[in-house]
Amino acid sequence: MITSLGTGTRGPVQPHVSGELPGLRSAALLARQERWESRARTYPRHLPIALAEGAGSFVSDADGNVFIDFLAGAGVLSLGHNHPEIVRSVARQLGTLTHGLDFPTPVKDAFTQAQLSMLPPRLRTRMKVHFCGPTGANAVEAAIKLCKTATCRGGVIAFRGGFHGSTHGAMAVSGLVAQKSPVHDGMPGVHFLPYGSLGTYPTGPASRLGPQACADQLEQTLTDSLSGVPLPAAVLLEVVQGEGGVVIAHPEFLRRVRDVTRALRVPLIVDEVQTGCGRTGTWFAFEQYGIEPDVIVMSKALTGIGIPVALILYDAALDTWAPGAHIGTFRGNQLAFAAGVETIRVYRRDDVLGNVRRRGEQIANALSELVTDPWVRDVRGRGLMWGIELACPDDGRPAPRLAAAVQMHALRHGLIVERGGREDAVIRILPPLNVTADVLDTALAILIDAVHACTAQAFANSAEGGV
């Protein structure tokens, strides 16, 4: 057991932070990182700690501070850090076979069947699986290539606010302009349309269009002979835009996207890299909308504790690509397969999806008090994927400095949270899916305090003439 986190020996673990952050040891490691690692590093710029050990929903830093980890490896750690049963399954597999390219193995077969068993019954018999290089972005690339090959078309329709990864193709279909603008000559043929979301979020001028109008735009773009856009190889979307700031698709929008794409025989790719594996309360987020995608992209949380793996599930009718069409050395990670099989067993035994729904209600209740705060533009989420959007009460503009202050305040009080959305002004939480009610209560109290403390300060600053 992890000693610095005291699991099992001194009662329930509590977050505790002593002194300033970063502490001395973290500061030294951060300095070495800055000296030797790429400028493109991200998380430690906003969360200045060096990680040491993890257990469940907790992680400690190099100075012995203990945090509740609601970044959870950007949604990867669905069963928290080092879930003991998953660790044991990986350890067993370690001595048997670790790497298998794309040869069949017993554990790979068990993993494949376990993944297929999570599909809604109507999809189970007609979907095939392709194992990709072990990242979400690689699986997005595979999905796009599959659809291009099967349709003999080139374009992709994506949506504003979406995020699909940092490789060339995945970046080309993502909304994040700052990431793509320095990298010239991206993948051609990508068109962005407005995303029909629930509520009226400040996700840019186009979002003032209602969900029906957004669906109309898609339909017109695909059917108007003067739209300028040839029929694409695929339409690609997230059911809840995660990095985009927890923007939830409106059911009408999503159903019409499905109807229009089906009528025109354009494959619909649903990127469940972040929403998948139960994050929103069902194994796939699309299940809550009663739609059936043609291609599903899965990665992040498949193995519970972050052993990398990624795959696409797709309609067998699309399976026209040639042997070797999407290869990659690390598609045969047997440790991931063992972990993935065990993850699904633990989900079923412990009713993890039920926990996600119950804890989601707990969050909704607790965070509802924030909506009266003038700096809180919106609080929204599904299951264990939530965002608090911060904006200036005077002009409705995103409040990124306030969001950074809230993130840092929470960190100083023992809670790690993420930011996302336009200008990173949305505070995001992605707790482990087996988080307990008590740990969640503790975390929400820290978060609510952080928002109140920082918005009070922002109010005082704005009264003095500057935020």
For strands 385-390 and 426-429, give the pairing: antiparallel
Instruction: Tell me the window of 42-50, 55-63, 157-165, 210-218 that interacts with ligand PMP (CB under 6 A).
Output: 157-165
User: With respect to ligand PMP, which residue has the nearer C-beta, 139 or 451?
Assistant: 139
Is position 211 an interface residue for ligand PMP (rule: CB under 6 A)? Answer: no
Can you give 78-141 as a three-state secondary structure string?
CCCECCHHHHHHHHHHHCCCCECCCCCCHHHHHHHHHHHHCCCHHHHCCEEEEECCCCHHHHHH
Rounded least distance, CB 74 to ligand PMP, Å: 6
Site for ligand PMP in 424-463 (CB under 6 A): none
The Cα–Cα gap between 195 and 229 comes to 18
User: With respect to ligand PMP, which residue has the nearer C-beta, 22 or 161?
Assistant: 161
The Cα–Cα gap between 411 and 418 comes to 10
Which pair of structure tokens corresponds to residue 98? 């670790």
99 alpha carbon, distance to own chain's centre? 27
Which pair of structure tokens corresponds to residue 465? 């003439």
Instruction: Tell me the window of 159-167, 339-347, 358-366, 407-415 that interacts with ligand PMP (CB under 6 A).
Output: 159-167
User: With respect to ligand PMP, which residue has the nearer C-beta, 140 or 307?
Assistant: 140
User: With respect to ligand PMP, which residue has the nearer C-beta, 242 or 360?
Assistant: 242
The Cα–Cα gap between 271 and 464 comes to 45
User: With respect to ligand PMP, which residue has the nearer C-beta, 158 or 451?
Assistant: 158
User: With respect to ligand PMP, which residue has the nearer C-beta, 26 or 280?
Assistant: 280
Is position 163 an interface residue for ligand PMP (rule: CB under 6 A)? Answer: yes
Residues 318, 423 contacting (CB under 8 angstroms): no
If you count them, how many residues does the chain have?
467
Residues 147, 221 contacting (CB under 8 angstroms): no
Site for ligand PMP in 115-144 (CB under 6 A): 135-137, 140
User: With respect to ligand PMP, which residue has the nearer C-beta, 283 or 375?
Assistant: 283
Rounded least distance, CB 465 to ligand PMP, Å: 38
Is position 271 an interface residue for ligand PMP (rule: CB under 6 A)? Answer: yes
The Cα–Cα gap between 195 and 161 comes to 8
Instruction: Tell me the window of 225-233, 236-244, 311-319, 325-333 that interacts with ligand PMP (CB under 6 A).
Output: 236-244
157: β partners: 191, 235
User: With respect to ligand PMP, which residue has the nearer C-beta, 165 or 383?
Assistant: 165
Residue type, 21: L
User: With respect to ligand PMP, which residue has the nearer C-beta, 162 or 202?
Assistant: 162
Number of residue whose CB is nearest ligand PMP: 136
Nearest CA to 81 out of 59, 60, 51, 48 is that of 59
Is position 299 an interface residue for ligand PMP (rule: CB under 6 A)? Answer: yes
User: With respect to ligand PMP, which residue has the nearer C-beta, 176 or 467?
Assistant: 176
Rounded least distance, CB 328 to ligand PMP, Å: 13
Residue from the set 53, 61, 69, 238 that interacts with ligand PMP by CB under 6 A: 238
User: With respect to ligand PMP, which residue has the nearer C-beta, 216 or 287?
Assistant: 287
Rounded least distance, CB 275 to ligand PMP, Å: 7
Residues 67, 60 contacting (CB under 8 angstroms): yes
Nearest CA to 358 out of 444, 435, 446, 275 is that of 435
Nearest CA to 402 out of 448, 454, 446 is that of 454
Is position 243 an interface residue for ligand PMP (rule: CB under 6 A)? Answer: yes
Instruction: Tell me the window of 86-94, 266-274, 349-357, 442-450 that interacts with ligand PMP (CB under 6 A).
Output: 266-274
Can you give 359-408 as a three-state secondary structure string?
HHHHHHHHHHHHHHCCCEEEEEEECCEEEEEEECCCCCCECHHHHHHHHH
Instruction: Tell me the window of 16-24, 33-41, 160-168, 369-377 that interacts with ligand PMP (CB under 6 A).
Output: 160-168
Residue from the set 221, 274, 343, 355 that interacts with ligand PMP by CB under 6 A: 274
Is position 273 an interface residue for ligand PMP (rule: CB under 6 A)? Answer: yes
Site for ligand PMP in 63-122 (CB under 6 A): 74
For strands 268-271 and 295-298, give the pairing: parallel
The Cα–Cα gap between 339 and 304 comes to 7
Residue from the set 81, 130, 160, 164 that interacts with ligand PMP by CB under 6 A: 164
Q: Which residues bind ligand PMP (CB under 6 A)?
A: 74, 135-137, 140, 163-165, 238, 242-243, 271, 273-274, 299
